[in-house]
Amino acid sequence: MLRGVTDKEYSIIRDVLKNFKGEFYAYGSRVRGDFFALSDLDIMVKSADYEKILPELKEKFDKSYLPYVVNFVDYNSLDEKFYNLIKGDLVRID
């Protein structure tokens, strides 16, 4: 459950991500609920094409009507310590 994302915002997020191959997971303050109005949305991307799709992902979200910044991390390059830190927050975006 994303506590810091409205239904309208979630719809925008899903509309952007549906055009990309991979799995997408939100984590961080907008999942936990300890966000502020200007808190970013953190998304972990699980895709073999991460490097290829990242520029377009950023562009699509920058041009979207979301009122906050979206940051991405590559699942395949996460170190174990960071993954263990966020794994309890992970919420798949479908």
List of domains in the chain:
7-92 (3.30.460.10)
Give the position of tokens 């509309």: 15
Q: What is the pLDDT of residue 65?
A: 94
Length of the chain measured in residues:
94
Amino acid in position 42 = D
Q: Alpha-carbon distance 51 to 56, whole Å?
A: 10
pTM score: 0.94
For 7-37, write each residue's pLDDT tens digit. Answer: 999 999 999 999 999 999 999 999 999 999 8
Pairing between β-strand 23-27 and β-strand 70-74 as defined by DSSP bridges: unpaired
For 54-91, write each residue's pLDDT tens digit. Answer: 999 999 999 999 999 999 999 999 999 999 999 999 99
